[in-house]
Chains A and B, each alone.
Chain A
Amino acid sequence: MNWVNAVVQGILLGGQYALIACGLSLAFGVMRIVNLAHGDLAICGAYLGLVLSSALGVPVWVTLPLLLPAAFAAGMALQVLLLGRALRHGVLAPVLVTFGLSVMIENLLQVAATSDPRGLNGGALTLASFSIGTLTVSWLFLAAFLTACAVLSGLQLALSRTSWGRQVRAIADDLDTARLVGINVRPVFAVVAGIAVATAALAGVFIGTIGTFDPLAGTSTLIFAFEAVVIGGIGSLAGTLVGGIALGVTQVVVGEVNQAYAVLAVHLLFLAVLVVRPGGLFTGHQPAREVLRWGALG
């Protein structure tokens, strides 16, 4: 393994982080909710993939047409039953509710599936790789990265080109004015939550195929996703991809030197970004301090 290889692997890993993070970023941008259960929902997606693929006896990819709509519906239900209600109790309630939800999910998974680490059946893709010179790239990692790019650009296109996207952006800009001009906010919220959970579940499937997962993996998944969002700049999907890549490259390159310091380096990168550019590394304009502190991060 050389440095070029480490950077390439890091970029590919960053795609996975961005895929988890985009739902978090979207939910925050539109609903002003930091979903502390987002990582756990991704892990739920992995467990659902495990159940479906072992029940049907097929690689997990084949189950995606079942899994993704189920995750989308779960996200809508979550928004309607829980998060929408929490939002009515002020800005702190969603934080408290999603943290409680995260605790419940992690422990229900432990009851239902024990705490043994599991992996997903990825079929022939799992071990396939190709080489360019000294560089060896796993098809699975490349697939995860390309999926992340496709999902993020698809979302970006939907937001900027469709009338639904225009509604979402209007709500993100100013909820009250959006209501005033006749946007029906609740269905938009439900669809956004559905997309957030579906992308999280998709990311969970990649996590489970590339490595292993256990019921408590959700919290670290959430932390990585959150760091990608903040490093890339809150509310920017392209920034989220770049933030994820920055995380991935840091983790793999530092891990090349000493594996024990890889995760620590990622956290320190995040804290350093908070100090130097709290609006994110890759956003053109830095929001005014007070807006960042009170408005945008309400």
Chain B
Amino acid sequence: MRRDVAGSRAARPSPSSPSSPSPPVAVSRWNRTASVFTGACVLAVVFLAVLPYWVGGPAEQPLITLLTFIAMASLWNLLAGFSALTSFGQQAYIGLGAYCLYLVALHGVSPFAGVLLAAAGAAVVSLPVSALVLRLSGGYFAVATLVVAAVFQIAATLSPSVGGTTGVSLPGLAGYGDLLREALTYWVTLAVAIASVAGVYLLVRRTFGLDARAVSSDPVAAASSGVRVRRIRLLAYVLAAGGTGAVGALVALQTLYVEPTSVFSVQYSVDMLFMVLVGGIGTIEGPIIGALLLFALQEWLSADGAWYLVIVGGLAVATTLVAPRGIWGLASERLGWTLLPIGYRVRGQDGPGPP
């Protein structure tokens, strides 16, 4: 992480060294692999978008699950990977998004458009919450977010207006046929997944990305170099909360029922942790790989819930200790690929530069 920051900073074209006689260094972010990959991504998105027209229902369900995973992982990566905010309480915003969708659907808004309002609702609620939890960092931040999720869950169970412990079913979908409803759910999920990945990617390519990684490496040093530490952490937290709220609304759309113990389940945090760590923390590609892996693992071990979680937790621990950069970290080092580059690279160097 630290090396990335130093690397990208050093690689910025610096006009302040006129004394060096060396020829001008070509600095670039983009490369051929990245262009090819971006093209492939666009094609893949178009393919995914038209899929319902000729495959229909059966292919949509697994893809919805996978796309939800991708969105959750990218958003958690924004927190833990780029901003060092290891929240294990993001299920607070999953649940909040689900309940927000219920409330707006109750007032006549189409549940599909309501996903946006749910995201906005989660982001607004995360503002006062951030004032509490961002006072802490590291492990203390992690447990405080667990407390916040517990508070949200208890508040939902104590509110008869949202069904208390039994939960509520999502209204406003009676007008849609099954086929149309599933296709619309799929498209909304696809949109949220793309927005999450592309949003995080575009965000960390800006100065924000450099600042966030500086803050996560050494907040004091970052603050003394003029980085607005508080604002960076706040932005990452609120954006991740809003996105996770949208994912929560998607969960409600898929299950058609909002029940406190399931939408506030810590399982969501376990999944996010696994996908980001095993895929490759602090990269754009990593969480997507992690999502594919979790999806495969879930298909493979769906029969036995407890063993599935033992394996998920164990792999996350093993990755942290043995290969902290995850699958994508290892692969990109080996292959010298940067498919979605976020740093800068000096051309003409020996070997691959920092990603």
Smallest CB–CB gap between B220 and chain A, Å? 6
A220 to chain B: which residues have CB within 8 Å? 150
A255 to B310 alpha-carbon distance, docked (Å): 35
CB 8 Å contact bits of A246-274 with B (1 = contact, 0 = none)? 00000000000000110110011011001
- For the A-B complex, the count of residue pairs with Cβ-Cβ distances under 8 Å equals 142
Q: Is the CB of A82 within 8 A of B321?
A: yes
Closest chain B residue to A104 by CB distance? B313
Which listed segment binds B: A41-49, A88-96, A132-140, A154-162? A88-96
Q: Is B122 an interface residue (CB 8 A)?
A: no
Q: Which residue of B lies closest to A85 (CB)?
A: B321
B220 touches A99 (CB 8 A): no
Interface residues of A in 71-128 (CB under 8 A from B): 82, 85-86, 89, 91-104, 106-108, 110-111
Q: Give complex CA distance A234, B155 in Å.
A: 28
Chain A: CB-nearest residue to B307:
A111
Q: Which chain B residues border A101 with CB–CB below 8 Å?
A: 313, 317
Query: Contact mask B287-310 → A, CB, 8 Å, 1/0?
Result: 000000000000000000111011
Closest Cβ of chain A: how far from B261's Cβ, in Å?
11
B137 within 8 Å of A (CB atoms): yes
Max chain A CB contacts within 10 Å: which of B131, B135, B140?
Answer: B140
Bin chain B's interface residue count.
Answer: 35 or more
Kindly state the interface size class of chain A when it binds its partner: 35 or more
Option from A97, A98, A107, A263 in Cβ contact (under 8 Å) with B306: A107
Q: Determine the residue in chain A with the shortest Cβ distance to B313.
A: A103
**Is residue A181 contacting chain B, with contact meaning CB distance below 8 A?**
no
Given known contacts A36-B142, A89-B320, A99 and B151 CB-to-CB distance under 8 angstroms: no
A95 contact set on B, CB distance < 8 A: 86, 138-139, 142
Residues of chain A contacted by B321 (CB below 8 angstroms): 82, 85-86, 89, 93, 97
A293 to chain B: which residues have CB within 8 Å? 135-137, 219
Given A103-B313, A107-B310, A271-B151: A93 and B324 interface contact (C-beta under 8 Å): yes
Once the chains bind, are A274 and B313 in contact (CB under 8 Å)?
no
Measured CB to CB, the nearest residue on chain A to B134 is A293
Per-position binary interface string of chain B over residues 150-163, scored 1 when its CB falls under 8 Å from any chain A CB and 0 otherwise: 11001100100000
The reply to whether B139 and A34 contact each other, CB–CB distance below 8 Å, is yes
- On whether A92 and B84 interact (CB within 8 A), knowing A111-B310, A230-B140, A274-B144, the answer reads yes
A260 touches B158 (CB 8 A): yes
Given A95-B86, A290-B220, are A100 and B139 also a contact pair (CB < 8 Å)?
Answer: no
Note all chain A residues with C-beta closer than 8 A to B86. 92, 95-96, 99
Q: Contacts of A33 on B, CB cut-off 8 Å? A: 139
Which residues does chain B contribute within 8 Å of A100, judged by CB atoms? 273, 313-314, 316-317, 320
Supposing A103-B313, A104-B313 touch, asked if A97 and B320 sit within 8 A by C-beta, the answer is: yes
Per DSSP, are chain A's interface residues mostly helix, strand or loop, or mixed? helix
Query: Is there an interface contact between B135 and A103, defined as CB atoms closer than 8 Å?
Result: no
- Residues of chain B within 8 A (CB-CB) of A230 are 140
Residue A226 interfacial (CB < 8 Å): yes
B146 contacts the other chain (Cβ, under 8 Å)?
A: yes
Find chain A residues with CB under 8 A from B154 CB.
Answer: 263-264, 267
**Complex CA distance for A82 and B318, rounded to whole angstroms:** 10
The verdict on A34 contacting B266 (CB below 8 Å), with A97-B321, A104-B317, A290-B220 known, is no
A107/B137 contact (C-beta < 8 A), A95-B86, A223-B143, A271-B132 known: no
Q: B67 near A: Cβ within 8 Å? A: no
Q: Are B312 and A103 in contact, CB atoms less than 8 angstroms apart?
A: yes
How many angstroms between the C-alpha atoms of A152 and B158 in the bound complex? 36
B147 at the interface (CB under 8 A from A): yes
**Out of B135, B155, B306, B320, which one reaches A111, CB within 8 Å?**
B306
Which among A96, A264, A290 has the greatest number of chain B C-beta atoms within 10 A? A96
Among B136, B146, B312, B316, point to the contact of A223 (Cβ < 8 A). Answer: B146
Whether B147 pairs with A103 at a CB distance below 8 angstroms is no
Instruction: Verify A91–B143 contact, CB threshold 8 A.
Output: no
Tell whether B80 is near chain A: CB-to-CB under 8 Å. Answer: yes
- Chain B residues lying within 8 Å of A290, measured Cβ to Cβ, are 220
**With the chains together, A274 CA to B148 CA distance in Å?**
12
Would you list 13 pairs from A and B whose C-beta atoms are within 8 A, ordered by A residue?
Answer: A36-B142, A89-B320, A92-B80, A95-B139, A96-B320, A103-B312, A111-B307, A220-B150, A223-B147, A226-B140, A264-B154, A264-B155, A264-B158
When A and B form their complex, which 7 residue pairs have the shortest distance between CB atoms, in order from nearest?
A: A34-B139, A103-B313, A100-B317, A104-B313, A100-B316, A107-B309, A107-B306
For the complex with contacts A103-B270, A108-B306, A294-B137, 15 further pairs of A-B residues with Cβ separation under 8 Å are A36-B139, A93-B321, A96-B277, A100-B314, A104-B309, A104-B317, A223-B146, A264-B151, A264-B154, A268-B151, A271-B151, A274-B133, A278-B136, A297-B140, A297-B141
